[in-house]
Amino acid sequence: MPVVGDTAVAPGWFGNGTSPASPMTGDRSPLHYDPDVASRTRCGGIIVKGGITFGLLDAVVAEDLPGPGSVFLHVA
């Protein structure tokens, strides 16, 4: 079981701020794809979709903390 202070590293495939899975979501907002539009927001650049971000969290739980065989039962 993980303990407070344990760390894990998510896969780093956001070179341009997007992921290969982004088109599957159907969200065509330029905030997720257009660097010019996104640079004019208060975030200052491409905003990675929430679903993609949650997918990374899922990958860390499934692979590292605690590891294979783990399942989300509750997220607080």
The yes-or-no verdict on residue 75 having pLDDT over 90 is no
On whether residue 37 sits in a domain, the answer given is yes
Q: Model confidence over 7-59: pLDDT tens digits?
A: 887 665 566 656 666 777 788 888 888 889 999 999 998 888 887 778 778 88
Residue of 74, 23, 69, 72 lying closest to 49 (CA atoms): 23
Omega within 30 of 0 (cis) for the link into 68:
no
On whether residue 34 sits in a domain, the answer given is yes
pTM (whole model) above 0.75 = no
On whether residue 58 sits in a domain, the answer given is yes
65 band by pLDDT with thresholds 50, 70 and 90:
confident
Cα separations (Å) of 44 from 13, 19, 31, 47? 20, 18, 10, 9
- Domain with 57 in it: 27-63
Please count the structural domains in the chain: 1
- Can you read off the two tokens belonging to residue 16? 């341009």
On whether residue 9 sits in a domain, the answer given is no
Model pLDDT, residue 17: 59
